[in-house]
């Protein structure tokens, strides 16, 4: 399966307008944003776990990164309430579940092979900082390396937001809205801009809270099954 697989193109999905699709496991549904492969795939998805559902034990041969959007996600390492940001590098193994139900934004098979940082961040505990280069923008840095920069950004109401993107970027709206390229991106909308792009957006009347992942498109990893 290929969905928004051409990284040289701008890609968008307004996921809140899409149906939930059943996964192979009972009680686990997803909305796909990007995919290259079948069940073992390079993928960006919103995954919803019904209360009491779980996923089989598995090893992350390509790494896993996720942000808990609502509910509480769990595995052998701990409990991750809404706002938790987790990175599980290549070779890690777990058996995730959601006794109370949960929804996550998850990325699979997109880790740099040399990145072995395992990370759990409670974003509520990270202090907002003003961006001196972009008035009206505050951010919480969740992870940074030579290959990528991951942040939660808060854009003030009606703020113009620009950003040079030599390594490309993805933007996922958690709250509020913004306009870019003639489209309005509301909660659970996703935007991917390719390398050497320039973001030119404007926050909506209520502002916007946006998950931003930048720089990684210049260091893309291809799953063996898709090579």
Q: For residue 175, what is the domain's CATH number?
A: 2.60.120.10
Q: Is 225 inside any structural domain?
A: no
> For the chain, what is the HEC assignment?
CEECCCCCCCEEEEHHHCCCEECCCCCEEEEEEEEEECCCEEEEEEEEECCCEECCCEECCCCEEEEEEEEEEEECCEEEECCEEEEECCCCEECCEECCCEEEEEEECCCCCCCCCCEEEEHHHCCCEECCCCCCEEEEEEEECCCCEEEEEEECCCCEEEEEECCCEEEEEEEEEEEECCEEECCCEEEEECCCEEEEEEEEEEEEEEEEEECHHHHCCCCHHHC
Residue 225 reports pLDDT greater than 70: no
| Together in a domain, 72 and 129 | no
| pLDDT tens-digit map of 6-60 | 999 999 999 999 999 998 889 999 999 999 866 667 889 999 999 999 888 888 8
| Together in a domain, 117 and 143 | no
Where a domain ends, among 122, 138, 159? Answer: 122
| Together in a domain, 97 and 50 | yes
Residue 227 reports pLDDT greater than 60: no
Where a domain ends, among 122, 149, 176? Answer: 122
Residue 185 reports pLDDT greater than 80: yes
Supply the mean pLDDT for the chain.
Answer: 93
Which two three-digit tokens encode residue 18?
A: 């899409």
Which two three-digit tokens encode residue 112?
A: 């740099």
Residues 6+ apart with CB under 8 A from 138: 128, 129, 130, 131, 153, 154
| Together in a domain, 10 and 88 | yes
Query: CA distances (Å), 224 to each of 41, 44, 109, 148, 221, in order?
Result: 10, 17, 10, 22, 9
| Together in a domain, 63 and 113 | yes
Q: Residue 45 belongs to what domain range?
A: 2-122
Q: Is 227 inside any structural domain?
A: no
| pLDDT tens-digit map of 110-148 | 888 888 899 999 999 999 999 999 999 999 999 999 999
């Amino acid at each position: 399966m290929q969905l928004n697989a051409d990284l040289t193109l701008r890609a968008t999905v307004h996921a809140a307008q899409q149906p939930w699709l059943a996964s192979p496991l009972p009680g686990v549904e997803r909305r796909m944003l990007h995919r290259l492969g079948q069940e073992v795939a390079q993928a960006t998805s919103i995954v919803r776990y019904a209360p009491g559902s779980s996923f089989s034990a598995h090893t992350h041969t390509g790494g896993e990164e996720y942000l808990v959007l609502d509910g509480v996600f769990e595995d052998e390492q701990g409990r991750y309430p809404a706002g938790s940001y987790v990175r599980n590098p290549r070779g890690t193994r777990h058996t995730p579940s959601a006794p109370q139900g949960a929804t996550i934004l998850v990325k699979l098979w997109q880790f740099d092979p040399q990145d072995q940082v395992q990370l759990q961040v409670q974003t509520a505990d990270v202090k907002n900082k003003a961006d001196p280069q972009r008035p009206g923008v505050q951010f919480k840095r969740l992870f940074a390396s030579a290959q990528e920069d991951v942040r939660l950004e808060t854009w003030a109401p009606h703020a113009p937001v620009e950003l040079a993107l030599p390594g490309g970027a993805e933007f996922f709206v958690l709250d509020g809205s913004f306009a870019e390229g003639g489209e309005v991106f509301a909660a659970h909308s996703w935007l991917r801009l390719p390398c050497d792009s320039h973001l030119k957006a404007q926050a909506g009347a209520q502002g916007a809270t946006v998950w931003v992942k930048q720089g990684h498109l210049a260091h893309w990893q291809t799953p063996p099954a898709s090579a």
